[in-house]
Amino acid sequence: MATIKCFEDIISWQEARKLNLEVGKLIDSERFQRNYGLIGQIERSAGSIMDNIAEGFERGGNKEFVQFLYIAKASCGELRSQLYRALDRNYISRQEFEVLSEHAKKISGLIQKLNNYLQSSGFKGEKYKGKE
């Protein structure tokens, strides 16, 4: 795996950013009929995916990074559940649901692969460099 110098280099973060943009476009389209509770939940879970990847990376330790990646992965599941709610209320079409849900599943898989790599790596993290 190539050395990652900043969280913006992480493919799962890049994909989460794209997903967040697509989700944002939907909730900004006013189709959610002022369902501010669901809008807020969807916005928070979509943002949480990319934010937790970034925060975990910036902590500088692989153990902490893994923990934050699990939170980001959980946010993918949370977003998918909320998309079902939006579908059931006819705020989004079946096609929109499928595209967004599949994107979230893809990100979840990317996060898991990164987690697997970090857990099998002997490297403890940047903050431990020179202390090993």
pLDDT digits (tens, 9 = 90+) for 24-78: 999 998 888 889 999 999 999 999 999 999 999 999 889 999 999 999 999 999 9
Q: What is the total count of domains within the chain?
A: 1
Judge whether 4 lies within some domain: no
Judge whether 128 lies within some domain: no
DSSP code of 35?
Answer: -
What does the pLDDT look like over 79-106, one tens digit per residue? 999 999 999 999 999 999 999 999 999 9
* Segments forming the whole domain that contains residue 73: 10-121
Judge whether 97 lies within some domain: yes
Judge whether 61 lies within some domain: yes
Judge whether 130 lies within some domain: no
CA–CA distance from 34 to each of 19, 37, 132 (Å)? Answer: 22, 9, 54
What does the pLDDT look like over 3-13, one tens digit per residue? 789 999 999 99
Q: Distance between CA atoms of 23 and 25, rounded to whole angstroms?
A: 5
Question: Is residue 105 within 8 Å of residue 76, measured between CB atoms?
Answer: yes
Q: Distance between CA atoms of 129 and 75, rounded to whole angstroms?
A: 30
Judge whether 102 lies within some domain: yes
The CATH number of the domain holding residue 46 is: 1.20.1440.60
Q: Distance between CA atoms of 46 and 43, rounded to whole angstroms?
A: 5
Judge whether 26 lies within some domain: yes
Q: Distance between CA atoms of 42 and 79, rounded to whole angstroms?
A: 6
